Amino acid sequence: MNEETKNESTRRGWRIWADQVSRSMFARQVGTTFLSQGTTLLLSLVSAAITARWLGPEGKGQFAMALLLPSVLQLFLGLGINSANVYFSGSKRLPLADLTMNSVMFSLLGTVGAGVILVLLLSGSLLPLLVPGVPIPLVCLAMILVPLGLLSLHLGAVLQGIRRIITLNVLTVFQALLTILLLLLFLVWLRMGVTGAVLAALITSIAGIAWICRCLQSEGALFFPRWNPDTIRSTLSYGLKGYVGNLMQFFNYRLDVFIVNAFIGPAGVGIYGVAVTLAEFLWQLPNAASFVLFPKAANSTHETMNRFTPRVFGIILAVTSVGAVGLALFGKWAIRIIFSPAFADAYVPLLILLPGVVLLGVGKILTNDIAGRGYPHYNSIIAACALVITVTLDLALIPRMGIIGAAIASAVAYSLTFVLAVICYLIVSRRHENAEVRYF
């Protein structure tokens, strides 16, 4: 055996060993993430049961709508900085301290933007039209979640990028437990109604930010705003490529809630929300896998990911399909036991949602691989196409079919997203493995 053959054999051995270590680490991180998300889901079901039983369908719908507007503004004003933070901290292209200072600055800018938007909505009497049936003071209180959410989103993404996965998992469980305790305090004991539920969300968010900041401080993070043109240019360049897609994907998920509220009212939102909550239970494992896959893809070669991602895809598809069958069989029973018979009409929308939810779940594996490799703009194209279908079908079906129409529209849009994700993944995975993506 000549020297070149020996060297090639040695390199092959190291690659095999590295792949095994990588798969083992990935499996542990996904396992802990799935365990924490499963625990969080069970705790969230307890929270949902408390709000459902103490607020009723209408109160639960008001609570959902009050939180939805801040969620939209948070995503709208985030500019994709969270995705950029995962990419640049995971690939170590930018210092962590620069990313955290940049995150604080963009959170402050987003807060100013949210304040301006709220003033415009109030002065133009547009807020009651946007969220009919929801008290205006309640919406204003919930708007405090915008700055809190922006800061938590941006800084949490840095932790994700440096693969502090277990830390984030513990935080998720902690926040779910805290939410239950606060709901028991504000709803059951103090009987503060929907206002108490919003207060519980605010306090939980503040506690989460404190936790994240403490963890990042040990990594050398700094938490004052700083205008650094190089960092701003890099993070915005990457973030905006995926920002449009994230914004449109959010509306793919939640636009139907706005339209259901407009045509049916908060009670319809409350019932439809139960179907969505149970259906999205199937996203726990895909979310866990994609959460870990994103920073891994940012720090791996194309060759490695071409071998790795298809294996993850197959496992996730098999497990979520089995879960969908279980929900179809036992969903009616779960709705009555957990949420009360008042929400029994959520079962048929749940059945309609299941196929699309399974496909979108495995599609998330592909889209996070794509984003981690440095091509987030493909995900924006996917989301744009799906949003067109969502808007068209929502407006056509919800006025005539109510929450059934909303479920059909979502299932079709989710399925289209999956098909497009497969196509874009095949395009990206076949690019030259040594191709370099530059954002600055």
129 CB neighbour count, 10 Å cutoff? 10
> In terms of Cα–Cα distance, which of 416, 411, 405, 384 is closest to 279?
411
Residue 24 has a pLDDT of 58
Compute the distance between CA of residue 124 and CA of residue 138 in angstroms, rounded to an integer.
18
In tens digits, the chain (440 residues) has pLDDT values of 454 544 444 445 444 434 444 455 666 666 677 677 778 778 887 888 888 888 887 788 788 888 888 988 888 898 889 989 988 988 888 899 999 999 999 999 999 999 999 898 888 777 887 777 788 888 889 999 999 999 999 999 998 888 787 888 888 889 999 999 999 999 989 989 889 999 999 999 999 999 999 999 888 889 889 888 999 999 998 888 777 777 777 777 667 777 887 787 777 777 888 888 888 888 877 887 887 787 778 777 788 888 888 888 888 899 899 999 999 999 889 888 878 788 888 899 999 999 999 999 999 999 888 888 888 888 888 888 888 888 899 888 888 888 899 899 989 999 999 999 999 999 988 874 444 444 33
- Has residue 317 been placed in a domain? yes
Residue 30 has a pLDDT of 66
Both tokens of 29, joined, read 């991180």
Output the CA–CA distances (angstroms, integers) from residue 34 to 86, 90, 281, 298, in the order listed. 19, 21, 11, 21
Residue 14 has a pLDDT of 40
- Has residue 137 been placed in a domain? yes
Residue 143: helix, strand or coil by DSSP?
A: coil
Compute the distance between CA of residue 268 and CA of residue 380 in angstroms, rounded to an integer.
30
In sequence order, the 6+-apart residues with CB closer than 8 A to the CB of 42 are: none
> How long a stretch of residues is the chain?
440
136 CB neighbour count, 10 Å cutoff? 13
Residue 294: helix, strand or coil by DSSP?
A: helix
Residue 147 has a pLDDT of 93
Compute the distance between CA of residue 6 and CA of residue 1 in angstroms, rounded to an integer.
7
Residue located via tokens 């929907």: 194
324 CB neighbour count, 10 Å cutoff? 21
Kindly tell me the burial class for residue 194, based on how many C-beta atoms sit within 10 Å of its own C-beta (0-12, 13-18, 19 or more): buried
Residue located via tokens 């709220």: 118
Q: Which domain holds residue 313?
A: 26-429
Residue 143 has a pLDDT of 92
48 CB neighbour count, 10 Å cutoff? 20
Compute the distance between CA of residue 335 and CA of residue 412 in angstroms, rounded to an integer.
24
In sequence order, the 6+-apart residues with CB closer than 8 A to the CB of 106 are: 78, 79, 81, 150, 154
Residue 34 has a pLDDT of 66
| Dihedrals phi, psi of 2, to nearest 5 degrees | -80, 175
Residue 210 has a pLDDT of 93
Q: What is the pLDDT of residues 341-383, one digit of tens each?
A: 888 888 999 999 999 999 999 999 998 888 888 888 888 888 8
Sign of CA dihedral 365, 370, 372, 373: positive
- Has residue 16 been placed in a domain? no
Compute the distance between CA of residue 51 and CA of residue 65 in angstroms, rounded to an integer.
14
Both tokens of 193, joined, read 């109604």
Q: What is the pLDDT of residues 214-272, one digit of tens each?
A: 999 888 889 889 888 999 999 998 888 777 777 777 777 667 777 887 787 777 777 88
Both tokens of 365, joined, read 């594996």
- Has residue 336 been placed in a domain? yes
343 CB neighbour count, 10 Å cutoff? 22
Residue 387: helix, strand or coil by DSSP?
A: helix
Tell me the Ramachandran region of residue 225: left when phi exceeds 0, alpha when psi lies from -120 to 50, beta otherwise.
Answer: beta
- Has residue 17 been placed in a domain? no
- Has residue 435 been placed in a domain? no
- Has residue 21 been placed in a domain? no
Total of domains in the chain = 1
> In terms of Cα–Cα distance, which of 169, 193, 168, 173 is closest to 183?
193
